[in-house]
Amino acid sequence: MLNSERPRLDWQLLIEDIANEVSALKSKGKVADYIPELGNVDLDAFGITVQLLNGQRYSTGDYQTNFSVQSISKVFSLTKAFSILKDELWSRVGKEPSGNPFNSLVQLEHENGKPRNPFINAGAIVVADCIMTNTTDSLAMIIDFIRELSDNKTVSIDQDMLQSEKSFGHRNAALAHFMKSYNNIGSEVDAVLDFYFGHCSVAMNCEDIARAFLFLANHGIDPISKKRYLTASQAKRINALLLTCGTYDAAGDFAFRVGMPGKSGVGGGIAAIIPGLLSICVWSPGLDKYGNSLAGVKALELFTTKTGISIF
């Protein structure tokens, strides 16, 4: 169907319907508690924001409640690392789906300490190391970057979350030490982990995240500020990675059901984009067995099904 023939969409009504439809699913997911602080969240929370390239924005539910962005932050760190290192980055981290859980150790040994992709934890830790060798205060830099992308100067680290991540981050420490033994981590492991945990512990809401992803729906340029963050080719590549690796070992299922490049986090957020049209963020803390928001994935599936808009 040509765009001009499409009936005008009532975005607000659409997302309110979706919120109602997924409501029963909220309690069926399980809040992540391997980072204890993540357990202190209301399982009943649900928010959604749709941000169009033309600046219009539609939201419903708990869209202004801050939550832990967790792995969604890996998109911001990858954007920085890719813009600094360019294609050199891919000598340190791969671009294939892992088919394994996000915090898995097994593949790393077979593949000599080079993580499959930048969105599993090992890959994001290497990306963090790449940034650290090229910037002085990496954490302050990435927070400023996220504030700029989200157009919200108040975005900050949740210090309780950060302490909780640091105290229970043994798997991530194991990944980092293991990769250091293969010379794929240059800085001190503790410093790299501090930076990685720091960006994972940032608190944002659906509005912030949808706004921050808009440049990926517009060939690397924020359509509102007009600032370029990536070349069109780099933005295309990040979107490809979001589609194939953004939801870990459920990326195939996510592409099948939703059909958008997207990134999930164990805080229950999922951000996704439709190139040339919009970004969307949904938040519901109850997760499925892959660590993706149960009601969130369903909401996005309904979004693309009801609108007929997807990348396919």
Closest approach, Cβ 101 to ligand GLN, in A, equals: 9
Closest to ligand GLN by CB, 200 or 300: 200
Whether 63 is catalytic is: no
Closest approach, Cβ 121 to ligand GLN, in A, equals: 5
- What are the residues whose beta carbons fall under 8 Å from the beta carbon of 160, sequence distance 6 or more? 37
Nearest to ligand GLN by Cβ — which residue? 71
**Are the C-beta atoms of residues 124 and 118 closer than 8 Å to each other?**
yes
Q: Which of 155, 83, 162, 70 is nearest to 119 (CA)?
A: 70
Site string for ligand GLN, 141-180 (x = CB under 6 A): ------------------------x------x--------
Closest to ligand GLN by CB, 50 or 175: 175
The radius of gyration computed from the CA coordinates of the chain, to the nearest angstrom, equals: 18
Closest to ligand GLN by CB, 103 or 107: 103
Q: E strand or H helix at 160, and its extent? A: helix 159-167
- Binding flag, residue 103, ligand GLN (CB under 6 A): yes
Of 258-277, binders to ligand GLN (CB under 6 A) are 265-266
Whether 266 is catalytic is: yes
**Are the C-beta atoms of residues 122 and 108 closer than 8 Å to each other?**
yes
Catalytic residue among 114, 248, 263, 284: 248
Strands (E), the chain: 47-52, 57-61, 67-68, 156-157, 202-204, 262-264, 269-274, 278-283
Whether 229 is catalytic is: no
C-alpha distance from residue 137 to each of 33, 161, 194, 287 (Å): 30, 20, 12, 33
Site string for ligand GLN, 181-210 (x = CB under 6 A): -------------------x----------
Whether 196 is catalytic is: yes
Of 278-297, binders to ligand GLN (CB under 6 A) are 291
Closest to ligand GLN by CB, 150 or 264: 264
- Binding flag, residue 121, ligand GLN (CB under 6 A): yes
CA atoms within 13 A on the CB side of 199: 33
Cβ-based neighbour number of residue 170 at 10 Å: 9
Among 59, 60, 66, 70, binds ligand GLN (CB under 6 A): 70
Task: Give the orientation angle of helix 11-22 with respect to helix 294-307, to 10 degrees.
Answer: 140
Catalytic residue among 71, 73, 104, 279: 71
Give dist(CA 188, CA 171) in Å, integer. Answer: 17
Residues contributing to the site for ligand GLN (CB under 6 A): 70-71, 102-103, 121, 165, 172, 200, 265-266, 291
User: Catalytic residues, which ones?
Assistant: 71, 74, 196, 248, 266
